[in-house]
Chains A and B, each alone.
Chain A
Amino acid sequence: MAEATVTHAGDAPGRPDGLRGIAADISSDQRAFKTASWGKAMMWIFLLSDTFIFSCFLLSYMTVRISTTVPWPNPSEVFALHIGGSDIPLILIAIMTFVLISSSGTMAMAVNYGYRRDRKKTAILMLVTAALGATFVGMQAFEWSKLISEGVRPWGNPWGADQFGSSFFMITGFHGTHVTIGVIFLLIVARRVWRGDFDVGRRGFFTDRRGHYETVEIMGLYWHFVDLVWVFIFALFYLW
């Protein structure tokens, strides 16, 4: 893998590797993250804090699920859809998973074309990513309305432990909000790419800083994180 890369971004010539490298980087009395720009490092640190938020949600879900003496509703049946005369378990969630993974793929390609300075392809791939993200949110809205019409509430549901509803709305609602915010920012960054802002160094509307194609990668970090959180929600909430 490393041989195939055009630019080996992890290289900081003259600096040691391994644990010694960590000690040298952090104790250098300069910026600790030698190859990541401040923008990228700040996005990573934001994502780390977001990881803790989602960890707390999943942990509270785990705690209430273990501690309840009432049987937990079977997600496989709750999220089944009636298609073509038979109930297919979890099918909507499976489709949502594939939609989100596809959007992650198009986002990765957008980042790649951004660094190749292919303005049009980058913008189009970002718009495709945003469209897939919007599809995901739409399917989630469908799922919510279906469950609400079946009587699921944060304080109760027809099938078992009351805590199912509160965990479900809290976790998927927070994730859906993240996807929605991501879609909005994807559209904003795609517009800037399309207009050529990063080629001419036009100043951004918010921070008044000159943008560059790394903005696409930082946007991508956020988007992949949203996909990453879904991987954990899918496994721990829907499949468990």
Chain B
Amino acid sequence: MQHAPVQAQAHEEGQQHPIKLYMVVWGWLFVLSTFSYLVDYFHVQGYLRWTLILFFMILKAGLIVAVFMHMAWERLALVYAIIVPPVLVLIFVAMMVLEANYTQFTRLLWFSSGS
């Protein structure tokens, strides 16, 4: 009961942050996108390529969620409820990598002519 007026107030005023913060994040998103494009442009290959791509991807996603979507200012209960489930998708990724590698193995073994 105690928190009811607080909510009404937060509801009224909403998220108020200085314009400059959005500008800085916007600028960084441009810079990071340029970097990830340059990875392809300069034909960086192998593990370095994948590391760089994933690194820039995570940074961009983090900036968008934290600042543009205001997740940085929400209570942890919401943050965890929304962020943890997608992270668990990584387990699904691991399962499918195993499965796909097995499929490829059987294809190479039995249908070596391709497809």
Contacts and interface: CB of A to CB of B under 8 A. Distances in A.
Interface of A: 1, 4-15, 17-19, 21-22, 25-26, 32-37, 41, 44-45, 47-48, 51-52, 55, 59, 62-70, 76, 89-90, 94, 97-98, 101-102, 104-105, 107-109, 111-112, 115-116, 162, 213-214, 217, 220-221, 224-225, 227-228, 231-232, 234-236, 238-240
B36 A234 contact: yes
Contacts of B75: 10, 12, 15, 21, 25, 33-36
A63 B103 CA distance: 9
Interface residues of B, number: 69
B57 A37 contact: no
Contacts of B86: 48, 51-52, 55
A19 B53 CA distance: 32
A65 B97 CA distance: 10
Main secondary structure of the interface of B (DSSP, over half): helix
A112 B74 contact: no
B86 to A, nearest CB: 5
A235 to B, nearest CB: 4
Given A17-B76, A101-B26, A67 B15 contact: no
Contact of A112 (B17, B39, B69, B82): B17
Contact of A9 (B15, B30, B80): B15
Given A9-B73, A32-B77, A108-B26, A115 B13 contact: yes
Interface in B20-59: 21-23, 25-26, 29-30, 33, 36-37, 39-41, 43, 49-50, 53-54, 56-57
B103 A67 contact: yes
The 4 A-B pairs with the shortest beta carbon distances in the complex, nearest first, are A66-B100, A235-B57, A67-B103, A6-B16
B75 to A, nearest CB: 5
